[in-house]
Amino acid sequence: MKREILFRGKCPTSGEWFFGFYFIDGFGNHCITDNKCNLHEVDPETVGQYTGLQDKNGVKIFEGDYINIFDDKGRAYGHGDVSFIRGGFQCNDLVLQDVYNENLTIEVTGNIHED
């Protein structure tokens, strides 16, 4: 599976979210460089990787997002936060790629850093 490698992190002073390439600079600052080559310091506790998947509304799903999962009839199937476990992105015991393959619907409802 080919997917976009992308991270997000929240600025500790402004609370703004930044998206791009994540790294730790030579001074130990956790940073994200956006697609315009702007450097932003972020709180390392808020950094999460993009799963390569989008929810039913086209919202990119990141590690740390709260999601709801629905079956093909719109009934609740599962919910929780997205984590990277055992080499894959999961919500509780559900592997997100399997959720997609089973044609279940995902909706992002927030994230662990704001809600």
Going by pLDDT thresholds of 50, 70 and 90, the confidence category of residue 106 is very high
What order of strands is seen across the sheet that includes strand 65-70? 94-95, 88-91, 76-85, 65-70, 105-111
Residues 37, 76: contact at Cβ < 8 Å?
no
CA distance 113 to 94: 21
At 35-93, the pLDDT tens digits run 898 999 999 999 999 999 999 999 999 999 999 999 989 999 999 999 999 888 999 88
